Amino acid sequence: MKADFIGFATAGGCCALLAWLVPDRYVPGRIWPFICVGVAVCAWLYWLHPKAPQSPGAWVKCIGWILVCGGILAAINAIPYGAAAKSRLAAVYVTVFAVIVAAAGLARSLAKGERNRA
């Protein structure tokens, strides 16, 4: 239970930091509470999935794969639309929120004291 709270606090802290950093012209302020709840629900469902990473090392590897895949998606998205910043924005949003979910999983795993099993 304490580990879940730490994971949710990590996800909420990351969302709060993004709400502070991202200008309102990109994401209106009234949307952030819904985003935070959505990220928390996604994190909770991912933590409970049988194939979810079970060790801090596996979570770090997961974050690395998310960043690699996000970079590839942004590059692929730039091919048909050019190098305009708006063309890669959706891939960046998905990557950032996936990293938040994985970072919350990492914090939860560290709080649970799980050993390197994978």
The number of angstroms, rounded, from the C-alpha of 76 to the middle of its chain's C-alpha atoms is 20
How do residues 14-71 score in pLDDT, each as one tens digit?
999 999 998 888 889 899 999 999 999 999 999 989 999 988 999 999 999 999 998 8
How do residues 59-88 score in pLDDT, each as one tens digit?
999 999 999 998 888 888 777 766 666 656
Name, in order, each residue with C-beta under 8 angstroms of 57's C-beta and a sequence gap of 6 or more. 116, 118
Q: Retrieve residue 4's tokens.
A: 């879940």
Statement: residue 117 has pLDDT above 70: no
Name, in order, each residue with C-beta under 8 angstroms of 99's C-beta and a sequence gap of 6 or more. 63, 66, 67, 70
* Sign of the Cα pseudo-torsion (60, 62, 63, 68, in order): positive
DSSP for residue 24: T
- Domain extents for the chain? 2-112
Comparing C-alpha atoms, which of 75, 19, 14, 22 is closest to residue 43? 14
Statement: residue 118 has pLDDT above 50: no
